[in-house]
Amino acid sequence: MSESELIEIAGQWNFNYNYFAGESASRFFRELRENQRIMGTRCTKCRRLLVPARAFCDACMERTNEWEAVGPEGTLDTFTIITTQFPGLPKPPIVMAYVTLDGADTALINLVHGLDMSDIDKAARRLNSLPRVRTKFIDEPKGRITDFSFELI
């Protein structure tokens, strides 16, 4: 027995809950649902357009005050390919990517659809070229991040 041995204990969390999204996130999600547009908020100090919209700038800690739509196209910044099934996510393999939409100064993460995933290495090489993408909304948006995804142009 080692005095410094760290003991590993198995655990599992599995519960449902609701939370209030707050003022800025609520409007962000309402804009998805009602107008099928992605909105950011502009920092009063550094003037960056933060997407998704937030009440305070993460760099300046200043309040944001202007709402602006971004996209619908943008540039893929980075990605990951998920090959394991996670609760609440589509059947793997799936692509999650950070995309900076046109007009935005920060990236937004969401699923990328429409890519041939039968050859994952080939798909990764295509994504590594940091391609242009466009947002695609579902037919009946519900005010959730799953209301849209990205597809390669």
The answer to whether 43 contacts Zn ion (rule: CB under 5 A) is: yes
Nearer to Zn ion, 106 or 149 (CB): 106
The Cα–Cα gap between 152 and 76 comes to: 9
The Cα–Cα gap between 31 and 26 comes to: 9
Joined tokens for residue 135: 């947002």
Q: Which of 147, 33, 53 is nearest to 101 (CA)?
A: 53
The answer to whether 109 contacts Zn ion (rule: CB under 5 A) is: no
Judged by CB under 5 A, which of 49, 51, 57, 112 binds Zn ion? Answer: 57
Find the shortest distance in angstroms from Cβ 114 to Zn ion. 34
130 Cβ partners below 8 Å, 6+ apart? Answer: 75, 76, 77
104 exposure class (CB count in 10 Å sphere: 0-12, 13-18, 19+): buried
The answer to whether 55 contacts Zn ion (rule: CB under 5 A) is: no
Find the shortest distance in angstroms from Cβ 12 to Zn ion. 40
The window from 12-20, 25-33, 46-54, 129-137 that contacts Zn ion (CB under 5 A) reads: 46-54
Find the shortest distance in angstroms from Cβ 57 to Zn ion. 3
Find the shortest distance in angstroms from Cβ 73 to Zn ion. 25
The answer to whether 46 contacts Zn ion (rule: CB under 5 A) is: yes
The SS3 of residue 68 is strand
Site residues, Zn ion (CB under 5 A): 43, 45-46, 57, 59-60
